[in-house]
A and B are shown apart, each in its own frame.
Chain A
């Protein structure tokens, strides 16, 4: 198994990658041979039988064996390809019974991963090496598709149904996953960490798959449930909130420096009154922030569209507290 990418293929990081690549290269070399044979013959004929004065084309005859031959011979190749392809597909589709289950929720434009212990993570998927992992996918809005090139695995996340995919990673390290089904983009750019233009959309629904050993994986699941450690010190709630602001991608809509965005800026927001779309005024206190995270459509600030997805289920209570603390620190 080759973990490094080759010219045509990403590195082989899953149990099915070698088989998929074998079929890929079989078709590739078969195609190269056929292409060179057919086009080589055609170009040779074009050169050899150029129009010359006094030389006429030979009338076309019939050659039944030849015609039947090139109609029937491909059937055997095609049957072989179909057979290998279907067998490989069954491997890709049917997960072993002992697979660890990770729940994947897609929405415009981020991925939420829920681990068996209830911990959540956005746009980062950690999986243990050499263990079968089964992903149960769903979508909150439009169709997305979870694609890990190094695993040779892909499956659509469709609203209104669960779809399944599985893999067994064979190599420790970090690789990329992508959204493969087109799902739009934000009309305007948001401000990034350093004030730069950040567009989000289909192309930004990407992230890392981190394949690690059992102990590191277990430690990671514990860590993401509570506050992170910064320079060996457990983070304050506001620091943790600042980190969640980034990892949960709040910044794609909400700036923290007063810059305009899809949602209201968080600068000078907490503790101040805001006017809602119905004309009433509310104070941005802890309860309002909590409600806006869990039930974003309830009270929309005037001048903004009701487009925020709910974070119910993807942020736990302690994480919401941390975000509230962070917002309150932005005075």
Chain B
């Protein structure tokens, strides 16, 4: 009887398998852990977004608008630290990845379910440290914690570095778990050449997480030692070197840029394939370019330091290596565009986000050329040009992919559909708002407006005012987006197993999936984008072998 009951449980909708708070907080189900991450990162995104709106409001006009200089410095530090460590790094991998990876692989769960839950709680503990730091005076160092400013300021640096230190372990464990899952838990027939590009991207991301994050941990640990015990490693007056901190920090934080963007690329590859009903052009090139980015991402850290006093030889080397990044990035953009050619394109909201990604990632990538080129970087470094550039990559690309991916997989996650019309309204607001906020910042920056300025010269006022108005449109777009999700949860129609008619493996599961993801272990007989091998019925009803028997 008990085995029979267990089987019933495994075949229950994951949202109904167990009730009560405890069944969530102690769950080992990757889908529930993914949902808990999702709720956490959305709260982090909200908090970071509030700081962003406050910053933009302060910059609406020169001089004091709503806060003091010291408060402004805390606000931009918290915006950056929350968005990077609490939101964007765990966003796609820990929330969407946790939910989708095992389903895509035809597995019951990740390789180490308990470790998965542990990494969630490590994330929670890290978040508590970050919140403690905010309450106890907050940090004013910038999310980069540059020494000797960070060792001499009397703001709450140690608790925030400990937060990032702890969050790093969550990231490492998640990466490790995903790598093992991809190696060991693929369904029969799912060989590497058939691996969905989302999996390839997450795999590349996991490698970076596992290899780079320990360096951040060491760096932040040394910083905390310097503050608490006066360790002189970064202190020039004790024989240390403040620039060494920048090397250590960027040795993690540049690869971390790829922890942030590669998952975005991974999501967009899925979106474009599904909504074009066509195999991704250059599948192998896209898969390898994710690994290529993961590798080259480790070799370019000092391009953040061209004005910091590194040697001319080092500057030359890092500039040359930086240009290598352009090649895999370009390959991906060309391949996505070529996939659209002769496709059957369905402009759903997730697809609109994928196109927004394509546009904004192209701008973010091309403006990177100005910064990799030494002569122009000297002028543009630490100006709003850099701010605009990385927001186009982080927000204009990764966040767009996250928003699109969340709506795309929403029928799987919630088991309900969302309102397509209102979702398109929110997309329009987000797209217009984002570009209005950040496009002018390129001009401000190349005109010489330095970043992290509380006050500015009157000549920059029109640009700042325009950017601030853009941030309001963007904020409104996010409110409408949240409304779309809440409305769907309250009154959305029940989702079919495969609402988009995708050939992707995850759509063969029910919506929402059962606790074990599939009632029987699926056997994979084709690639995830082989639309020419599918029938119309398959695309809309899931794979015949897994579909519930029709009457």
Q: A38-B337, A88-B375 are in contact. Are A81 and B369 (CB under 8 A)?
A: yes
Binds A, one of B127-135, B236-244, B540-548: B236-244
Chain B proximity of A285: nearest CB distance (Å): 33
Interface size classification for chain A = 35 or more
Do the beta carbons of B370 and A60 come within 8 Å of each other?
no
- Cα–Cα distance between A108 and B153 once the two chains are bound (Å): 12
Do the beta carbons of B375 and A35 come within 8 Å of each other?
no
Residue from the set B309, B362, B450 with the largest chain A CB neighbour count within 10 Å: B450
Do the beta carbons of A57 and B68 come within 8 Å of each other?
no
Do the beta carbons of B149 and A82 come within 8 Å of each other?
no
- Cα–Cα distance between A34 and B340 once the two chains are bound (Å): 17
Residues on A with C-beta less than 8 A from B446 are 8-9, 24
Do the beta carbons of A185 and B236 come within 8 Å of each other?
no
Chain B proximity of A287: nearest CB distance (Å): 29
Residues on A with C-beta less than 8 A from B183 are none
With beta carbons under 8 angstroms apart, the residue of B285, B312, B327, B345 that contacts A89 is: B312
- Cα–Cα distance between A183 and B455 once the two chains are bound (Å): 14
Do the beta carbons of A45 and B372 come within 8 Å of each other?
no
Do the beta carbons of A50 and B378 come within 8 Å of each other?
no
- Cα–Cα distance between A188 and B64 once the two chains are bound (Å): 12
Interface size classification for chain B = 35 or more
Main secondary structure of the interface of B (DSSP, over half): helix
Do the beta carbons of B347 and A50 come within 8 Å of each other?
yes
Do the beta carbons of B375 and A49 come within 8 Å of each other?
no
Q: A56-B277, A149-B379, A152-B379 are in contact. Are A185 and B148 (CB under 8 A)?
A: no
Residues on B with C-beta less than 8 A from A180 are 307, 381-383, 450-451
Q: A92: CB under 8 A from chain B?
A: yes
Do the beta carbons of B347 and A49 come within 8 Å of each other?
no
Q: A39-B359, A203-B456 are in contact. Are A156 and B447 (CB under 8 A)?
A: no
With beta carbons under 8 angstroms apart, the residue of B278, B327, B372, B379 that contacts A20 is: B379
Do the beta carbons of A156 and B149 come within 8 Å of each other?
no
Q: A82-B323, A184-B140 are in contact. Are A159 and B70 (CB under 8 A)?
A: no
- Cα–Cα distance between A204 and B308 once the two chains are bound (Å): 21
Residues on B with C-beta less than 8 A from A103 are none
Q: A221: CB under 8 A from chain B?
A: no
- State which residues 355-391 of B face A: CB under 8 Å: 355, 358-359, 362-363, 366-367, 369-370, 372-379, 381-383
- Cα–Cα distance between A137 and B366 once the two chains are bound (Å): 33
Residues on B with C-beta less than 8 A from A189 are 68-69
Residues on B with C-beta less than 8 A from A81 are 323, 369, 372-373
Contact with A along B446-465 (1 / 0, CB 8 A): 11101111111100000000
Binds B, one of A70-78, A117-125, A318-326: A70-78
Binds B, one of A126-134, A138-146, A253-261: A138-146
Q: A71-B327, A85-B372, A187-B70 are in contact. Are A57 and B278 (CB under 8 A)?
A: yes
Chain B proximity of A192: nearest CB distance (Å): 11
Residues on A with C-beta less than 8 A from B282 are 67
Q: B73: CB under 8 A from chain A?
A: yes
Contact with B along A16-47 (1 / 0, CB 8 A): 10011001100110110011001101110110
With beta carbons under 8 angstroms apart, the residue of A42, A163, A188 that contacts B340 is: A42
Q: B192: CB under 8 A from chain A?
A: no
Do the beta carbons of B242 and A199 come within 8 Å of each other?
no
Q: A296: CB under 8 A from chain B?
A: no
Do the beta carbons of A199 and B68 come within 8 Å of each other?
yes
Chain B proximity of A61: nearest CB distance (Å): 8
Q: B511: CB under 8 A from chain A?
A: no
Contact with A along B426-444 (1 / 0, CB 8 A): 0000000000000000010
Do the beta carbons of A8 and B447 come within 8 Å of each other?
yes
Contact with A along B326-350 (1 / 0, CB 8 A): 1100110110111111111111000
- Cα–Cα distance between A43 and B532 once the two chains are bound (Å): 24
Residues on B with C-beta less than 8 A from A179 are 450
Chain B proximity of A253: nearest CB distance (Å): 14
Do the beta carbons of A45 and B452 come within 8 Å of each other?
no
Q: A7: CB under 8 A from chain B?
A: yes
Q: A60-B280, A189-B68, A197-B64 are in contact. Are A46 and B366 (CB under 8 A)?
A: no
- Cα–Cα distance between A46 and B281 once the two chains are bound (Å): 15
Residues on A with C-beta less than 8 A from B452 are 182, 202-203
Q: A23-B373, A23-B375, A88-B375 are in contact. Are A185 and B448 (CB under 8 A)?
A: no
Q: B146: CB under 8 A from chain A?
A: yes
Residues on B with C-beta less than 8 A from A10 are 447-448
Q: B299: CB under 8 A from chain A?
A: no
Residues on A with C-beta less than 8 A from B326 are 74, 78
With beta carbons under 8 angstroms apart, the residue of A27, A56, A185 that contacts B376 is: A27
With beta carbons under 8 angstroms apart, the residue of A30, A46, A143, A153 that contacts B149 is: A143
Do the beta carbons of A57 and B319 come within 8 Å of each other?
no
- State which residues 301-335 of B face A: CB under 8 Å: 306-309, 312, 315-316, 319-320, 323-324, 326-327, 330-331, 333-334
Contact with B along A254-274 (1 / 0, CB 8 A): 000000000000000000000
Q: Which residue of the partner chain A has the closest CB to B373? A: A85
Q: A85-B377, A158-B309 are in contact. Are A39 and B68 (CB under 8 A)?
A: no
Residues on B with C-beta less than 8 A from A155 are 307, 309
Q: A141-B148, A159-B236, A202-B453 are in contact. Are A49 and B378 (CB under 8 A)?
A: no
Supply 10 further A-B pairs (C-beta < 8 A) apart from A78-B369, A141-B152. A31-B369, A35-B362, A60-B529, A143-B149, A147-B448, A154-B379, A158-B242, A179-B450, A185-B70, A199-B455
B residues sitting closer than 8 Å to A (CB atoms) are: 64, 68-70, 72-73, 140, 142, 146, 148-149, 152-153, 236-237, 241-243, 276-282, 285, 306-309, 312, 315-316, 319-320, 323-324, 326-327, 330-331, 333-334, 336-347, 355, 358-359, 362-363, 366-367, 369-370, 372-379, 381-383, 443, 446-448, 450-457, 529, 531-532
A residues sitting closer than 8 Å to B (CB atoms) are: 5, 7-10, 16, 19-20, 23-24, 27-28, 30-31, 34-35, 38-39, 41-43, 45-46, 49-52, 55-60, 66-67, 70-71, 74-75, 78-79, 81-82, 84-93, 141-143, 145, 147, 149-150, 152-156, 158-161, 163, 176, 178-189, 197, 199-204, 206
